[in-house]
Structure 1
Amino acid sequence: MQINRLFEIVYILLDKKTVTSKELAERFEVSTRTIYRDIETLSSAGIPVYMSKGKGGGISLLSDFVLNKAVLTEKEKANIISSLKAVSSVNLSETDTALEKLSSLFGETNTDWIEVDFTSWHNAEEEEKELFCNLKSAILSKNTISFSYSSGKGENTKRQVYPLKLCFKGQSWYLYGYCKTRCDNRFFKLRRMKSLSVLDETFHKRPPTQVFSKKDMLKEDFITLTLKLSKKMAYRIYDEFNTFEQLEDGSFIAEIIFPKGDLIFNYITSFGEDCEVLSPEEVRLDVKTKLQNTLKNYL
């Protein structure tokens, strides 16, 4: 397509400074006449490209040219670079190449204001990278996958899933997909997935635009917890909660959407004596019962 060729011509000129029409024609397998028309198109679009004759001549850009606001605004360029920096944190080498090219194309010299690292502190980087890349491949090629999964209740099951999207939320990576075993859409925490296999079977389901909408998260697999936390937990309130209010005594009432299962009890008890479950009532009673049973171990 011409638009792709035009974009690459600009990048080549930024990289090589000067190139002949013959070299461009051979690269794109078109005639030199087509290259001349491309140069006219770029010039008409406001790109300062010019041609010089004689020895050492060819097609060039003005030396101080960068992709300007006629194509993308400064804010749009910054957003693209920032997004690529975030994606590159999962160690995808092709992202690094795109980041390098676009930084050069935009003339960006001050792009080191942000650094994102989604990996954990423990040494499982290569294993996570391989899993992430295999899932990405399966999503793009629309291949069914199978894997062993450990649920929040400690149950190990074999699943076959149509992988639709990789998502990051609450300090964890999730796979969102249609589970053939449960006949419904599900979230799967990547840390709990083992023995991943990409199958030959393909599927045609399309991913939703947004899977972490409040509507989707209030389905069967998630629950809204209302907690009362002491003022000693202020540092965690600001780190972990988006919805909260502080009372006159310094304590907090906070809400959080959390996956159902035994992880709720683990999360509540991580606050020690500084947390009280206000709702839902069934969670409050479940935590109370488990705490009473735990206390029996110390009698």
Structure 2
Amino acid sequence: MTDRLIRLMRIITLIQARPGILTRELAERCGTTERTIYRDMVALSAMHIPVIHQGYGKGYAFIGNFALYPLDWTDEEMHAFSQLNTVMELIVPLLPVEFQSAYEKVMAADYKYRSDRAELVQQLDDLGLS
């Protein structure tokens, strides 16, 4: 299940980074088969991820302005996720090699989002607009 979840997140990231990405490319980048990608697309659709196949040779894209970043999680979710670091040494052997770098990227993206937000709040406060 962990492998599939990581692959689904990877698919979302790849589509976001390269709208129009083909099934073949997704399969290659995810280290799986095209048939598995088709099944994953059904799963993403069932999760209400607004992904659409644009037609033969045109690949996948998102409908509207869907994007993963910024992460929209609560402080409690962030805290829970950040606690993975304390058990990382124990679970790393159970996870794909790329998990740790993916974890670090998510943590970095959240840190950047929160610091940008805090800076904006400070600027608004300085201007007396908050």
| TM-score category (smaller protein) | 0.5 to 0.7
What's the CA shift for 1:74? 4.5
Q: Secondary structure at the match of 1:113?
A: helix
What's the CA shift for 1:60? 1.2
Distance in 2 separating the partners of 1:18 and 1:103: 29
What's the CA shift for 1:101? 4.8
Which structure has greater strand proportion?
1
In the alignment, structure 1 segments of 5+ residues that lack a partner are: 88-93, 115-299
What's the CA shift for 1:110? 7.3
Q: 1:20 to 1:79 in 2, by over 3 A?
A: same
Distance in 1 separating the partners of 2:14 and 2:114: 19
Q: Secondary structure at the match of 2:61?
A: strand
Distance in 2 separating the partners of 1:22 and 1:13: 13
Q: 1:66 to 1:27 in 2, by over 3 A?
A: closer
Query: Does the 8 A contact of 2:51 with 2:60 survive in 1?
Result: yes
Query: Does the 8 A contact of 2:21 with 2:60 survive in 1?
Result: yes
Q: Among residues 30, 33, 36, which one is paired with 1:34 in the alignment?
A: 36
Distance in 2 separating the partners of 1:111 and 1:63: 24
Equivalent residue number for residue 138 of structure 1: none
Equivalent residue number for residue 125 of structure 2: none
Superposed, 1:218-257 pairs within 5 Å as: none
What's the CA shift for 1:98? 3.0
Q: 1:101 to 1:33 in 2, by over 3 A?
A: farther
What's the CA shift for 1:67? 4.3
Q: Among residues 19, 22, 35, which one is paired with 2:24 in the alignment?
A: 22
Q: Among residues 82, 102, 118, which one is paired with 1:113 in the alignment?
A: 118
Distance in 2 separating the partners of 1:12 and 1:52: 15
After superposition, the C-alpha distances for 1:16-35 in whole angstroms (9 at most, x for unaligned) are: 22311000111222211110
After superposition, the C-alpha distances for 1:241-267 in whole angstroms (9 at most, x for unaligned) are: xxxxxxxxxxxxxxxxxxxxxxxxxxx
% identical equivalent positions: 24
Equivalent residue number for residue 50 of structure 1: 52
**TM-score of the two chains, using structure 2 as the length reference:** 0.56
**TM-score of the two chains, using structure 1 as the length reference:** 0.27
State the number of aligned residues: 97
What's the CA shift for 1:100? 4.5
Identify the structure with bigger relative contact order (alpha carbons < 8 Å, sequence gap 6+): 2
In the alignment, structure 2 segments of 5+ residues that lack a partner are: 86-100, 120-130
Equivalent residue number for residue 74 of structure 2: 75
Q: 1:9 to 1:29 in 2, by over 3 A?
A: same
Distance in 2 separating the partners of 1:2 and 1:111: 32
Give the root-mean-square deviation of aligned CA atoms.
Answer: 3.7
After superposition, the C-alpha distances for 1:57-97 in whole angstroms (9 at most, x for unaligned) are: 101112411349xxx86525x8629x87xx9xxxxxx6763
Equivalent residue number for residue 13 of structure 2: 11
Query: Does the 8 A contact of 2:27 with 2:33 survive in 1?
Result: yes
Q: 1:79 to 1:40 in 2, by over 3 A?
A: closer
Bigger radius of gyration among the two: 1
